[in-house]
Amino acid sequence: MRILKADHPLIAHKLTYLRDKRTDSPTFRRLAEELMTLLAYEATRDVRVEPFPIETPVAPTTGIKLANPKPLIVPILRAGLGMLEGMVRLLPSAEVGFLGMQRDEETLAITTYANRLPEDLTGRQVYVLDPMLATGGSMADALRFLIERGADDITAVCLLAAPEGIAHLTREMADVTPPITLVVGSVDERLNEKGYIVPGLGDAGDRLYGVV
């Protein structure tokens, strides 16, 4: 698994305000969207393209366009929705699917409760969005779910990651054939006893949308 930590002053700047507990939900959503656009630039460096002949006002030339089948963007519900608009802004022609995975706060066990994805992902590049890579359990399950449907190139994009989550995901993905890339805005210190990233930013879903 390839790991890319996006190193840019604007990313660090926006992460600082995301972490601040005084940042309200509307501002948090805006910052998460802006940060996702910056991370998407890094995540899409290897997006598949094909030649595209055009004519400029001066002369014919050949450019590029996104190859078919188009990339698939998969936010992990519900917090991943806060990253979707920032990704779609960079890849407006991509298709979007949804995957709902939930962690039990006591046992940390993962369950899948929603799935809006094509049955066959053969030949598809997939971008998975989830703000936090904490234990790595839900992300590992999501990646295996996509691989079982035929995805052959997957990039996971997270705002923050814990070393434990990266280690777990690396172990879980060691035996898979499709290339896996992890793009993160920051690798934080550790997980606490409740499975939260430290220093982290709290519960991303609650901070995006409020406590339900």
Q: What is the pLDDT of residue 77?
A: 86
Say if residue 212's pLDDT is above 60. Answer: no
Q: What is the mean pLDDT of residues 18-31?
A: 94
Q: What is the pLDDT of residue 67?
A: 92
Q: What is d(CA 136, CA 16) in angstroms, rounded to the nearest whole number?
A: 23
Average pLDDT, rounded, for the chain: 91
Q: What is d(CA 71, CA 91) in angstroms, rounded to the nearest whole number?
A: 8
- Catalytic one among 103, 141, 149, 170? 103
Q: What is the mean pLDDT of residues 142-164?
A: 94
Q: What is the pLDDT of residue 149?
A: 92
Annotated catalytic, 44? no
Q: What is the pLDDT of residue 109?
A: 66
- What is the percentage of the chain residues whose pLDDT exceeds 90? 78
Annotated catalytic, 141? no
Q: Which pairing describes strands 132-133 and 125-129: parallel, antiparallel, or unpaired?
A: unpaired
- Catalytic one among 22, 56, 104, 107? 107
Q: What is the pLDDT of residue 83?
A: 92
Q: What is the pLDDT of residue 199?
A: 96
Q: What is the mean pLDDT of residues 19-28?
A: 94
Q: What is the pLDDT of residue 108?
A: 61
Q: What is the pLDDT of residue 181?
A: 96
Q: What is d(CA 20, CA 136) in angstroms, rounded to the nearest whole number?
A: 24
Q: If DSSP codes are grouped into helix, strand and coil, which group holds residue 21?
A: coil
Higher-scoring residue by pLDDT: 107, 163? 163
Q: What is the pLDDT of residue 110?
A: 67
The one-character DSSP state at 37 is: H
Q: What is d(CA 212, CA 146) in angstroms, rounded to the nearest whole number?
A: 29
- What is the percentage of the chain residues whose pLDDT exceeds 70? 95
Contact 11, 185 (CB under 8 A): yes
Q: What is d(CA 176, CA 174) in angstroms, rounded to the nearest whole number?
A: 6
- Catalytic one among 141, 152, 153, 206? 206
